[in-house]
Amino acid sequence: MTTASVNPALLQQLDTDGRLKHLITLEGLQRPLIERLLNRAQQFIRPLGAPPARSSALAGVTVANLFGEASTRTRGSFELAARRLGADVINLEVHLSSRSKGETILDTVYTLQSMQLDVLIMREAETGVPGYVARHLASHVSVLSAGESHLSHPTQGLLDALTIRQCKGGFQKLTVAIVGDIAHSRVARSTFQALKILNVGAVRIVAPQGLMPAPEEFPCCERVHSLEQGIRGVDVIMMLRIQKERMSELSVPDGTTYFSEFGLTYERLRLAKPDAIVMHPGPMNRGVEIDSEVADGAQSVIQQQVTNGVAIRMAVLEAVTEGLRRDWNRA
């Protein structure tokens, strides 16, 4: 399946009342909806060490995590988010499920649906699958993408936006540099979409020629091939991992050479504004795209991004089940 499911024309993400029903892409979503999600997520933030925010909003709701690619942060935070809202949660790894025995994706998800599934969270290496599944499941079931190939990772885009808003207060005056393997990065695409919807000042994409996206992608972004030039004077630096799993072995850059040209070191960080923040979606490859001194330094907000991930996923789960819960209350 190579046709892009992320075309919003193919998949209506909003229900007939204009509520968010599926979240497969941020493309095409309106600013008030994104802002509502960020505001709601902010209400779920608690200091580390304090009891986490909890509610019974999703009591009786069944959520399945179906992951076809490795994940620590995204899967863990979706699970915690669902549990903290009181949902029943089932976790399935594709290589351990019947899909590894040749079952089709639709048979797998219909099986889950028969167990009274309400929300399917899925990570897929193949493009098109989350949208395809959303079009085939019963109308009460929501599909949330937890990462679709190189195309889309909408909750990561939202949590990045929330982190930037917490640190910088807004978006309009900011220059954001997205650095690294942009060609293969679903995070770069979704975060760029979120920032665009939120009216960010400017986005620079910074990468070696071989890791730059196609010319028609990332419209209106300045494209810079040098890290030093790319981060000069910026407010936000977003570093990305080289997505080896989406490249042929021969095209994977050598780690040491890459670090010497595109690794974010403390010296280079001084070219950005003095109060610039450093972000990374994780997992990091220390010594390849980022130096440990920077990753663990005072300007790093990488752990804050992880905390925000749970809050954003709580806000999204609450939003997509609103219609369902209203129907239950009426019945």
Which residues in this chain contact ligand NCD in the complex, by CB under 6 A?
Answer: 73-74, 147, 153, 156, 186-187, 241, 281-282
Question: Minimal distance in Å, beta carbon 197 to ligand NCD?
Answer: 20
| CB closer to ligand NCD out of 83 and 246 | 246
Phi/psi for 113 (5° steps) reads -60, -35
Question: Minimal distance in Å, beta carbon 190 to ligand NCD?
Answer: 9
Question: Minimal distance in Å, beta carbon 213 to ligand NCD?
Answer: 15
Question: Minimal distance in Å, beta carbon 218 to ligand NCD?
Answer: 17
Which residue's Cβ has the minimum distance to ligand NCD? 241
Phi/psi for 53 (5° steps) reads -65, 140
Give dist(CA 81, CA 45) in Å, integer.
Answer: 12
Task: Answer for the pair 70, 246: CB distance below 8 angstroms, yes or no.
Answer: no
| CB closer to ligand NCD out of 74 and 308 | 74
Question: Minimal distance in Å, beta carbon 62 to ligand NCD?
Answer: 23
Alpha helices (H) along 89-221: 105-114, 129-136, 154-168, 186-197
| CB closer to ligand NCD out of 155 and 175 | 155
| CB closer to ligand NCD out of 61 and 67 | 67
| CB closer to ligand NCD out of 22 and 153 | 153
Beta-carbon contacts of 258 under 8 Å, excluding residues fewer than 6 positions away, are: 208, 242, 288, 289
Would you report the helix, strand and coil content of the chain in percent, each value rounded to 5?
40, 15, 45
Task: Answer for the pair 206, 231: CB distance below 8 angstroms, yes or no.
Answer: yes
Nearest to 171 by CA among 25, 35, 315, 316: 35
Task: Answer for the pair 223, 203: CB distance below 8 angstroms, yes or no.
Answer: no
Calculate the CA 254 to chain-centre distance: 27
| CB closer to ligand NCD out of 86 and 287 | 287
| CB closer to ligand NCD out of 61 and 151 | 151
Question: Minimal distance in Å, beta carbon 210 to ligand NCD?
Answer: 17
Would you call 144 exposed, middle or buried from its count of C-beta atoms within 10 A (0-12, 13-18, 19+)?
A: buried
Q: Which three-class secondary structure state does DSSP give residue 23? A: strand
Question: Minimal distance in Å, beta carbon 306 to ligand NCD?
Answer: 8
